[in-house]
Structure 1
C-alpha cells in the first residue's frame, strides 16, 4: 500500500505575491454590494455576479484583484467582511 505525502496539506499554503485573488462576497442587495466593493478595492478589479439563494434573499458576487502581499490580502478581506452591506466573505 502506498503512503501519500500529506505534508503539503498541513500548515499555510505557499503563496507567491503578487497574485490574483478572488473574494466570494455574499449579501442581500447586489447594487449595495457593488458600491461597497468599489469603495474598498484599492485598484482595478473584476466583479462577477454568481448565484442567488433559492428564495432570492441573498446574492453572491466574485471579486478578483491582484494583491501584492498577505497583509494587503488580509486588509481587503477585513474591510469587505466588516462592511454593513456584506453578510459574508469567503
Structure 2
C-alpha cells in the first residue's frame, strides 16, 4: 500500500520542508554577499572583469545612467526616479 505525502499547508511555512529542500535563489547581482562563487569569483575579479569588458567595448553603458540631473535638483529627482517612479530610470546620475 503506497502512502501519499500529506499536502502542504497553505501560506508561508518555514518548517521541515524549508530546512530540507533549500531553494537556491539566484540574483542578477554578481556581487551579492555571501558570494556563492567565491573563491573562484572574488569581488576583485568581478570588478576587473567588468571594467575590462567595459573598456574593450563589449558593454555599452551609454543609456544606463539616465537621467543625469544637477546637484541642485537631486532631492526632487531622487523622489521622482527612485522613490515614486523607479520604472522611469535604471540609474540616476548627478552632476556636480
What's the TM-score once normalised by structure 2's chain length? 0.22
Give the TM-score taking structure 1 as reference length. Answer: 0.23
Counting strand residues as a fraction of each chain, which structure ranks higher?
Answer: 1
Q: Which structure would you say has the larger Rg?
A: 2
